[in-house]
């Protein structure tokens, strides 16, 4: 009878140790590798999106991005480019010339 109890306790202890080894292996080796893979793919997606938007701005002169019910329009900005001043408008006259 004593031999059976020893084997039973030994198997339970072995299963508990095996589960602990698997859990530690996951948290120390597998999870960090998966996280690194996910982060690299997120960076790759961000870079691809940015390159696509920049290519569209270069080809079309603008990029239109919809966000909900709002629209964002991106255009290239050249700080050296000067805007021509608008001519002053003449005041409207009532049609009477002189007195």
pLDDT of 74 above 70: yes
In a domain, 94, yes or no: no
**71 bridge partner residues:** 66
pLDDT of 37 above 90: yes
Distance CA(58)–CA(28), nearest Å, equals 46
pLDDT of 44 above 60: yes
Unique residue bearing structure tokens 């009878």: 1
Cα→Cα distances 51→1, 19, 47, 71, 73, Å? 73, 46, 6, 20, 16
In a domain, 85, yes or no: no
Domain that includes residue 10, residue range: 2-74
In a domain, 58, yes or no: yes
Rounded to the nearest integer, the mean pLDDT of the chain is: 87
pLDDT of 85 above 90: no
In a domain, 89, yes or no: no
Into how many domains does the chain fold? Answer: 1
In a domain, 95, yes or no: no
Q: Which pLDDT tens digit goes with each residue over 22-34? A: 999 999 999 999 9
In a domain, 34, yes or no: yes
pLDDT of 97 above 60: no
In a domain, 81, yes or no: no
H or E stretch including 73? strand 70-74
């Amino acid at each position: 009878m004593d031999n059976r109890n020893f084997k039973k306790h030994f198997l339970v202890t072995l299963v508990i140790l095996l589960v602990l080894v698997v859990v530690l292996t996951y948290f120390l080796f597998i999870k960090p590798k998966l996280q690194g893979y996910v982060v690299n793919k997120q960076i790759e997606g961000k870079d691809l999106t940015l390159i696509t938007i920049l290519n569209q701005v270069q080809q079309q002169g603008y990029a239109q991005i919809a966000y909900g019910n709002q629209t964002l329009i991106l255009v290239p900005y050249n700080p050296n480019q000067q805007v021509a001043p608008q001519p002053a408008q003449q005041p409207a006259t009532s049609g009477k010339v002189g007195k």
